[in-house]
Structure 1
């Protein structure tokens, strides 16, 4: 059995602008860098064996900071952990999307059909991909930190009763992997109140 600490990346520059990111690749903001440091502090004493991230830089940089602080090898990249994409919504602000297609973002964040035009990744395929990514991550130790994306929690929410997509940056949940299946979620992973006070918490 492997314990996987699944977290959302630190705040990105597009998070600051409330832009739909998908598989676009903006970097962490200054706050995001501090949140990654706070996540590393939270992970001290948890005996993390390895860090695994998606191939998008906001997640990879988050994992890189944690691995550096904990004295671990550089993060392992698993592309199956990258965010779900929508061609039309990518780069548009939350207000622009809501004005053009009311309710679309709320539906997207619940894994439901969306009204926005253009190709996008179907939710069922995305969920399967993310679960495959978590299984791959679990092969790297008995306790593994995974730095991924908000959509990861939508996918997990479709399978388990876990937090939805409004997971704060650098926070997440604890997942148990048994053999070749993601078995269940055992709890939340949150920054301590002291770390939040020190670094700040962004609007999800």
Structure 2
């Protein structure tokens, strides 16, 4: 896919988002954009991820003539946004809190292009089984939880912890493909190299 000419600017360094867009046949130019990710006071989790996705798409639009895509994912437990773990202790506390319960994963996607700013927020419910402290410690040592919202990656080793999922799997990985494909087509971005009408 790297040899194909980019048709979309991706405002993210996430390899998972790049892979998901490749599944739609959309070659991208990667332009990670730093935006202030500090939550505002009394900002609801869905409003928070939508704001960040739009801010990223807007920031990338200043660097590219292509349509731009920004996205953000948050793991939400009891209306509290769990960020990325600071260290092993923080990761262990997050996974212990998530274990044996259901939580929400919110992923917002925004596409800035000829039709203006299009955006959506997708909520997926995920339940994790009980996880023993020694499993949590072993999982941290794999290196996978570092830099992951909520301290786990559903597409990786943590798939063994997931007992149920209700909603979009791809959104939990990092990009809701159904909604993303619809927005890209509205912005004139061809999927699968224009194989579809």
TM > 0.5: no
- Which protein, 1 or 2, shows the higher relative CO under an 8 Å CA cutoff with sep ≥ 6? 1
Q: TM-score, normalized by length of structure 1?
A: 0.33
Q: TM-score, normalized by length of structure 2?
A: 0.34
Greater percentage in strand: 2
Say which one has the larger Rg: 2
